[in-house]
Amino acid sequence: MTFGPLTDEQVELRELVRTLAADKIAPRAAEVDASGEFPWDVVQVLRDHDILALPFEERYGGLGMGALMTVVAIEEISKACATTGLILSMQDLSTIAVRLHGTDEQKERYLPRIASGEWLGAYALTEPGAGSDVAALTTTARREGDAYVLDGSKRFITNAGVAGLYTVFAKTDPATGHRGISCFLVEADTPGLEVGRLEPKMGIKGSTTGEVFLTGCRVPAGNLVGGEGEGFRIAMRVLDRSRPGIGAQALGVAQGATDYALEYAKSRETFGRPIAEHQMIQAMLADMETKCEAGRGLLYRVALMIDAGIDGAELTKASAMAKLFCSDTAMEVTTDAVQILGGYGYMKEYPVERMMRDAKITQIYEGSNQVQRLVIAREMLRESRAFLLAGVS
C-alpha cells in the first residue's frame, strides 16, 4: 500500500510507464549516450504507447492527464534515460504558450501533431547574449503585410534539427525592452529558418542542443501567439509550468541512481559482508532516499497547483522551489551513488557515471539554480509575515 496524491488509476498508469521504461527504454540508454545520436526508435516507442499525448486535452488527440501525471511519467522515464525523459518534457514545454494563449485555429492546427508525436517541439527563447536575462534578446520580428519577418539567432535550443515546430520569441518593438517581446509559432520548413551547430555535451547526449538561425524568416501573422508585446509575460507563464518537467527529469535521475546504488550495495561485499550493512553506506543511502522523497513532495505539489489552475506569484515560487530542490538533489545523489560504487562508479560500464553527467544540466537549464534562488527570495520579500513579530519589542 502506498500513500500519496495519486489515484488508483494514476498509480496503474505509473506502473505501466515504469514497465515500459524498464523494458524498452533502459536497454537503449547506454548506447544512446555513447553514440550521441537522437533516439528516433525510442520516440517511436513513446508514440506507440501514447506517452507523448499525456499533457494534451482529448479534443486535440491527447490523454488529458494533466501536469501531475506528466511529471510522474517524466520521472519514471528519466530513471532509465534522462535523454528520453527530456523528449516528453519538451513536448509539454514547447506547446504551453499556445495552450495558454493560442487561438482555437492555432491549437487545432498544431496540438494534434505534437500530441501524436508526428512532430516534436522546440522552445526558442535563449540567445548567445540572452539567457537568464530574457529582456536582452535581440531577435526581431517586423510586420510586413499579412506576415512577420524574423531575423536573429537562438542558442542552446533543445530538439534543434529534429523539431517540427519552434516556439520563437522575438522583439516586435526593440526600443521597449521586455515589453516589446512577442511569441511566434514557426514551422521547421519555413524558409529562412536554419539549424547550425549541434553542441557536443557532457550529458543527455542523445538530445540535440543547437543553434537556430532566422534570416528573413517569413511567418504568417496568424502564427503570432497572444498579442504583440505579450511575449515576456507568456514566456514567464510558460516557465512556471515547464520547470516542474525539468524537476521531474532530475528526480528520475536521482531516484534511478539511488535504486541502482542500493542494489549494488546489497551484492557488493567487503570485509566478509555486503557494504549495505556498513553504517556509513546506510547513512548515505538514507540521505539519498530522503532527498528524493522530499523533492517528490515539492514536485507533486506544484503539479497539483497547475492542474488546479493556480497562477501568479504562488505558482512562480512553488515551481522555482521544486526545480531547485530536485536538480540539486540529482547532483548530490548521483555523486553519492558513484561514491558507493567506488571505482566501478567511475566507469562507463555502470549507469551511475552517466547519471551523474546527466544530472548536471538540470541545475542549469530552464533557469539556473542561482536564478531560482533569486526568484524564490523575491517572492518571499513580497509576502507579509509581520504576524511572526507580534509581541516582539
Separation between Cα atoms, residue 111 and residue 117, nearest integer Å: 10
> Do 221 and 147 touch, CB atoms closer than 8 A?
yes
Separation between Cα atoms, residue 393 and residue 387, nearest integer Å: 13
β pairing state of 181-187 and 193-198: unpaired
Separation between Cα atoms, residue 281 and residue 276, nearest integer Å: 6
> Do 355 and 275 touch, CB atoms closer than 8 A?
no
The three three-digit cell numbers of residue 29, written as one number: 540508454
Phi first, then psi, for residue 116 (nearest 5°) are: -80, -15
**CA torsion, points 44, 362, 168, 173, in degrees to nearest 10?**
170
E strand map for the chain: 121-124, 140-144, 147-158, 165-171, 181-187, 193-198, 209-220, 224-225, 269-270, 273-274
Q: Given 37, 314, 366, 383, which residue is catalytic? A: 366
The reply to whether 127 belongs to the active site is: no
The residue assigned the cell 545520436 is 37
- How many angstroms separate the Cα of 391 from the Cα of each of 383, 384, 387? 20, 16, 9
Please report the DSSP string for 207-232 in residue order.
Answer: S-EEEEEEEEEEEEGGGEESSTT-HH
- Using DSSP's 3-state secondary structure scheme, residue 281 falls into helix
The three three-digit cell numbers of residue 281, written as one number: 553506506
Name the residue among 37, 120, 24, 11 with its Cα closest to residue 80.
24
Name the residue among 70, 106, 68, 61 with its Cα closest to residue 91.
70
Separation between Cα atoms, residue 305 and residue 298, nearest integer Å: 11
Hey, which residues are catalytic here? 366
